[in-house]
Structure 1
Amino acid sequence: MKLYYSPGACSLSPHIALREAGLAFEPVLASTKSHKLQDGTDYYGINPLGYVPMLELDDGTRLREGPAIVQYIADLAPTKNLAPANGTLSRYRLQEWLTFIGTEIHKGFSPMFNPNMPEEAKTIAKNKLKARYGWLNSELEGKDYLMGEHFTVADGYLFTVTNWAKPTGFDLSPYPNVQSWHARVGARPAVQEALKAEAPSK
């Protein structure tokens, strides 16, 4: 398998999932600025949408969109318990989390990375994020991870986008449960491996 990624982007989420699952894969750096691979290949020729992540399977099949990719990875390694079994209510809870993270947190940070976005719009986005993180803080009360005692791919995704708090100046100090959860996920060996693997390319 190949994972097309860019350091600092949301592709860290499937990168973490692959390492947590213990699956062999080839990381392929795809710049989100130049939209080219390291050998000069036009990334738009591989993914017409031009963004990461994208997972290419051994037979050439390509999967886009992080929440779909991480569930596929989790299902390849069921004994790792990165996602509940398909068809269970717990699996729909996981999908509920992945959707929330994608639409409310991930997209909430997006305006703050856009240099053309007016400051007023960035302030509106930041205030909405404050409300979302306030709710997340209450949901994490007494829990090690989003789904309870076990790490899932939803934690990897939320960890990835929560890392954007620092570069965007979003203050996490009002959310102690989020902070302790973030530190807990960040200390996981697979997460450390993924972060170190991406660091040299920054």
Structure 2
Amino acid sequence: MKFYYCPGACSLAGHIALFEAGVVFESESVDLKRKVTAGGVDFNTITSKGYVPAIVLDDGEVLTENIAVLDFLAQQYPQLGIGDGLSRTRLLEALAYISTEIHKSFKPFWRGGSDADKAAAAEYIVKRMSYFADSLQTEYLFGDSPSVADFYLFVTMMWAEKFGIAAPAQLLALYERLKARPAVQRTLEAEGLR
């Protein structure tokens, strides 16, 4: 398996998950502006979508889209998920919420939005993060061990910290717990983020 990522992008969640699961995998960073891998390959030949994450499986199959990649990893490595049936649906629900309500709301910060756009986005992000803060009753989103949803939320909390957005206090404790995990530390180091 080969995992393609861009340092600090949403692909960080899958990268953490792979280290957390103890998977043997290759990884390669991608310059998203130039669409070139660290090895000099045109990334568009790997996926015509031109963005990360992307996983090339051992049989050559390519998976893209963060929710799909994280769901795949949770299915392959059960310690990253929360179970089958309705539990899996709840995990997908959390991943979709993080993607559509939190992740996408950072766009003004990444794309040179006005100060007013950034202020409105920050308020919206905090409000959406509060959903998880208000329902957090365990060490992690779904119990005593982290899931792929925790890792995705971690990425958005890292972005919040970067842009000076004050995340809810309950989530800051979760963020610090996740940041202290060896897999997170290893990934941040691998991506040159610490």
Aligned partner of 2:135 in structure 1 is: 139
Q: Which residue identity does 2:115 align to in structure 1?
A: E
Structure 1 stretches of at least 4 aligned residues deviating more than 6 Å after TM superposition? none
Q: 1:103 aligns with which of 100, 108, 114?
A: 100
- Give the count of matched residue pairs: 194
Quote the Cα distance in structure 2 between the aligned partners of 1:71 and 1:134: 23
Q: How far did 1:149 drift?
A: 2.0
Q: How does 1:42-57 map to 2 (within 5 A)?
A: 42-57=42-57
Aligned partner of 2:190 in structure 1 is: 197
Quote the Cα distance in structure 2 between the aligned partners of 1:166 and 1:71: 26
1:165 equivalent in alignment to 2:163: no
Quote the Cα distance in structure 2 between the aligned partners of 1:62 and 1:68: 11
Q: How far did 1:45 drift?
A: 2.0
DSSP 3-state at the match of 2:18: helix
DSSP 3-state at the match of 2:14: helix
TM-score (norm 2): 0.93
Aligned partner of 1:176 in structure 2 is: 169
Aligned partner of 1:73 in structure 2 is: 73
Aligned partner of 2:19 in structure 1 is: 19
Q: How far did 1:180 drift?
A: 0.4
Distance 1:133 1:85, change over 3 A: closer
Long gaps (5+) in structure 1: none
Quote the Cα distance in structure 2 between the aligned partners of 1:84 and 1:176: 24
Quote the Cα distance in structure 2 between the aligned partners of 1:102 and 1:123: 20
Quote the Cα distance in structure 2 between the aligned partners of 1:114 and 1:58: 35
Long gaps (5+) in structure 2: none
Q: How far did 1:151 drift?
A: 1.2
Q: How far did 1:186 drift?
A: 1.0
Quote the Cα distance in structure 2 between the aligned partners of 1:22 and 1:74: 13
Provide the aligned C-alpha RMSD in A.
1.6
DSSP 3-state at the match of 2:4: strand
Contact 1:113–1:168 under 8 Å retained in 2: no
Quote the Cα distance in structure 2 between the aligned partners of 1:85 and 1:176: 28
Aligned partner of 1:36 in structure 2 is: 36
TM-score (norm 1): 0.90
